[in-house]
Amino acid sequence: MNLRKHLIAGNWKMNGTLGSINEILKIDKLCSDYEVDIALCVPNTIISKANETISHNNLIIGAQNCHYKESGAYTGDVSAKMLKDAGAKIIIAGHSERRQIYKETNEIVNKKATSIINSDLQTIICIGETEEEKNMGLTKKIVCTQLENSMPSISDENNTVVAYEPIWAIGTGKIPSLKEIEVVHKVLRSLISEIKGIETANKMKILYGGSVKPNNAKDIFDIDDVDGALVGGASLKSEDFMDIINIC
Ligand code: 13P
């Protein structure tokens, strides 16, 4: 039986303004009865307001990215320490959109995750293969290389969550077969065991992300090594997000 407490994290990406705080409040009100951890990684511009308005029962507010330095001449960037100051409790590192569009390497993701952890925050480290890599049978190799090189030496089960997000499943409505998800999550857990030891591996959460919707969430959450989800599009509407939490 899976004894890890599940986490459902929403990633709003570049969506949402102060007018969206109402949507967050709806989630906050409804989620206090649940036995799962819930996070909403919102745009930096609304972290502070969101954090001030929620009840902090089950829900935490997070960010989607940060710079790996604490401060300095990096025009337009924001550090983990600054996001913590605004109220973030968790920060995503290495989302595939950052890796692909902004050319973030495993080394950069590792530095970002390190700075997040050193700021006493949790990080969600994302990994995942492209469709081409999947078709070439490279999924396991790609995700293991990404995780091995992106996960900091200071990562443990309390400060780090891993999210497997096949790039071709993000925003497409397509998901891998349940067997494929199961195999990848098993491989990732055994890699974490090799690197960090079995105790940490048994406690570290591994989320699935990529087109998680109310209609496929149950099957995904039934997989043994899946400890929750990183949800994009369906986290923007409180009804859909709450449906997924309810199923979990
Ligand atoms: P979708 O749920 O919209 O596919 O997005 C997944 C994602 O990128 C979460 O980080």
pTM: 0.97
Separation of CA 231 and ligand 1 centre (Å): 5
Q: Which of 91, 212, 240 has the most ligand 1 atoms within 8 A of CB, as the residue to mutate?
A: 212
Kindly state the greatest CA–CA separation across the chain. 49
Identity of residue 12: W
Q: How far apart are the C-alpha atoms of 29 and 208, rounded to whole Å?
A: 25
Cβ–ligand 1 contact at 230 (below 6 Å) = yes
User: Among all chains, which residue has been given the structure tokens 């990404």?
Assistant: 146
In sequence order, what DSSP letters do the residues of 58-107 get, joined into one string?
Answer: SEEEEES--BSSSSSS-TT--BHHHHHHHT-SEEEE--HHHHHHS---HH
Phi, psi for 173 (deg, rounded to 5): 80, 0
DSSP 22-55: HHHHHHHHHHTT-SSEEEEE--HHHHHHHHHHS-
Q: Encode the chain (248 residues) as per-residue pLDDT tens digits.
A: 577 999 999 999 999 999 999 999 999 998 888 889 999 999 999 999 999 999 978 999 999 999 999 999 999 999 999 999 999 999 999 999 999 999 999 999 999 999 999 999 999 999 999 999 999 999 999 999 999 999 999 999 999 999 999 999 999 999 999 999 999 999 999 999 999 999 999 999 999 999 999 999 999 999 999 999 999 999 999 999 999 999 99
Residue type, 245: I
